[in-house]
Amino acid sequence: MPSALSQPDLLGTECLSRDDISAILDLAGHYAQRNRSAQKSCDRLAGKIIVNMFFEDSTRTRTSFEVAAKRLGAQVVNFSASISSMNKGETFSDTMRVIESMQVDGIVMRHRTNGAPVEAAALLDIPVLNAGDGSREHPTQALLDALTMVRHKGHLGGLKVAICGDIEHSRVARSNAFLLNKFGAEVRFFAPPQFIPRDISSLNVRQCSSMEEVLQDADVAMMLRIQNERLSEGEFSMTVEDYHEQYGLNHDKLRVANPEVIVMHPAPMNRGVEITNELADDPRHSVIFEQMEMGVAVRMACLDLLVGSDSKEL
Ligand code: CP
């Protein structure tokens, strides 16, 4: 069945067109409203089976993809990599073909290896939705971030978006940079020297050299955690206290930003490291839990547009 998007899979924001992103955000806005109403569920994906394949840990993405699919009337199967026959030597590609051969309707995949969902999509005839691959892309995170920004700022064009922390290992930073650049936002990065991405010159972002510079007049401050799971033992030796002092966000540092600045974090947060407890829970600025709410709406929109049938009513 042809997808309502210009492509059959959701693999990253770099390869999504502005029209595709706008279509997802428009539909996600509808689902966000609906999710707060008494009539949350519909039958857009009735009769469909979605398989969640998470080869790496997740709380938000996995749960919200499952909630999203169920809200749309689909059934969800959770593949468990840790008890699968991959432990007996079955290859990744054979595993993917096994799942497709069961005539399921879509696959949601998180993988620690860059490009694994792209490889799966090339093998399979059913839609593959990337739920985060290595340090490459996390498209639904950037889409839910964009929806949250639009809800608070009304638009993306011209926004000054400060992204701070471990950018080198962050698929979230990359997907946000690709998406926000397509809509004319100004994306700024500030990171410890070790965490500045090697390909920063190709990302069309402004590299800043201090928290003050990155936050100056910022409309959005997005904090990232250190991705310890992608670092080898002893690779990053800064103490938590020093990191927090130099790269963490608090109310005092935020003073140079737009007074209406929103504070975002893809989470999981390391409170007291990249962000203070007080700021993470400050309703005047923090939209961190709203981001998680928008995650369900965005994933509903992506599943609907890629797996749904045009003949079913919204
Ligand atoms: N933001 C995010 O991807 O969170 P999880 O790792 O919990 O899915």
C-beta of residue 27 within 8 angstroms of C-beta of residue 301: yes
- Ligand 1 pocket residue status of 132, Cβ below 6 Å: yes
Gyration radius (Cα) of the chain, Å? 19
> Tokens 């009513």 sit at which residue?
313
From the list 44, 71, 110, 174, the catalytic residue is 110
**pLDDT at residue 3 in the model:** 59
Nearest CA to ligand 1 atom 3: 61
Token readout for 149 is 């920004």
10-residue mean pLDDT profile of the chain (314 residues): values are 81 98 98 98 97 98 98 98 96 98 98 98 98 98 99 98 96 98 98 94 96 98 92 86 97 98 97 97 98 98 92 60
Q: How many whole angstroms separate alpha carbon 38 and alpha carbon 224?
A: 34
**pLDDT at residue 1 in the model:** 42
Ligand 1: centre distance to CA 269 (Å): 10
**pLDDT at residue 277 in the model:** 97
Ligand 1: centre distance to CA 22 (Å): 23
pTM: 0.96
Tell me the HSE value of 240 on the side-chain side, using a 13 A CA sphere. 8
Residue 61 annotated among the catalytic residues of the structure = yes
| φ, ψ of residue 208 in degrees (nearest 5) | -105, 160
